[in-house]
Amino acid sequence: MGKLQNFDRLSLNQITTDRWSLREAVEGSVRAGIPWIAPWRNKVAEAGLAESRRYIRDAGLKVSSLCRGGYFPAATAVEREARLDDNRRAVEEAAELGAEVLVLVCGPSADKDIATARQYVEEGIEKLIPFARQHGVKLGIEPLHPMYAAERSVIVTLGQANTLAEKFNKEDVGVVVDVFHVWWDPELYTEIARAGDRIRGFHVSDWLVPVPDLLLGRGMMGDGVIELSRIRHAVEAAGYNGPIEVEIFNQTIWDMPGDEVLALMKERYLEHC
């Protein structure tokens, strides 16, 4: 299986250099020759939306995704409507920034009833679609690792994300494949093939052994057990040739100087992805 030869598809998901402001992340990416960036909404808000757009465009960067919309389930209809409003703001921001996709982290259940929470996710996406379409923004359902089912996402497998996405037009709703969340799944390659041209994003990191922390324990590519190259090739065989985001939540990496993180990330990207 061939290796990646250059950085044309490499994207810095901003969480990987969480201490950097959006401007710093943009400038760091330019210094490192990384052509794509995936900003987070909190960082965009800090910098201001118009300024964020200007930084990114002036630097000549492309936006692989905006992180994130979602969090649809809530206990009351009023709260769910408020969540939907926030998603509409996320769509507007994604459109303003020219993001390829708005990533949806679908949210946990408001109570023990996970089945109803999953219905709320479906309803939320359905209601968001017309607004997203109107703004030219594609939605990408990102299944999260099952260990986050209670706190971040009731959508936990690629199969489940595919089933949900297939209820809608593929122009409107696709899926995002993040190796950290899906690598363990016995149905992974079947579901990647099934996702086909609904794949809207591909995120890499690694699964460390032992896991240092439930949330902040993701590893740099090559430091763990995920078959990165195999999964990347499967995603390509399914039809995805878009940007590859490096998205790492890890305190040790956050504590490193950003430029060193980007240098290491580039090296590992060529070697392991």
Distance between CA 199 and CA 53 in Å, rounded? 25
Q: Which of 128-136, 142-150, 167-175, 251-259 is the region at the interface with a second copy (rule: CB under 8 A)? A: 142-150
Residue 171 · residue 214 · CB < 8 Å:
no
| Site membership for a second copy, residue 214 (CB under 8 A) | yes
Which residue in 48, 33, 175, 34 sits closest to 102, CA to CA?
A: 175
| Site membership for a second copy, residue 162 (CB under 8 A) | no
Query: Could you tell me how many helices (H) and strands (E) the chain has, helices first?
Result: 11, 11
User: Residue 231: exposed, middle, or buried by beta-carbon count in 10 A (0-12, 13-18, 19+)?
Assistant: buried
| Site membership for a second copy, residue 150 (CB under 8 A) | yes
Residue position matching structure tokens 């969340």: 181
E strand residue ranges, 134-247: 139-141, 173-178, 199-204, 206-207, 218-219, 244-246
Q: Which of 23-31, 156-164, 194-202, 251-259 is the region at the interface with a second copy (rule: CB under 8 A)? A: 156-164
Alpha helices in 75-196 (DSSP H): 77-97, 114-134, 158-165, 179-182, 188-195
Beta-bridged to residue 139, according to DSSP, are 102, 173
Among 93, 100, 185, 191, binds a second copy (CB under 8 A): 185
State which residue, 101 or 158, has the beta carbon closest to a second copy: 158
Residue position matching structure tokens 């964020």: 52
Minimum CB distance to a second copy, residue 75 (Å): 14
State which residue, 77 or 112, has the beta carbon closest to a second copy: 112
| Site membership for a second copy, residue 250 (CB under 8 A) | no
| Site membership for a second copy, residue 207 (CB under 8 A) | yes
Among 17, 29, 157, 205, binds a second copy (CB under 8 A): 157
Minimum CB distance to a second copy, residue 222 (Å): 11
AA letter at 138: K
| Site membership for a second copy, residue 83 (CB under 8 A) | no
| Binding-site size, a second copy (CB under 8 A) | 29
| Site membership for a second copy, residue 71 (CB under 8 A) | no
Q: Which of 6-14, 94-102, 155-163, 257-265 is the region at the interface with a second copy (rule: CB under 8 A)? A: 155-163
Footprint of a second copy on this chain (CB under 8 A)?
109, 111-114, 118, 145-147, 149-151, 156-157, 159-160, 183-186, 207, 209-211, 214, 224-227
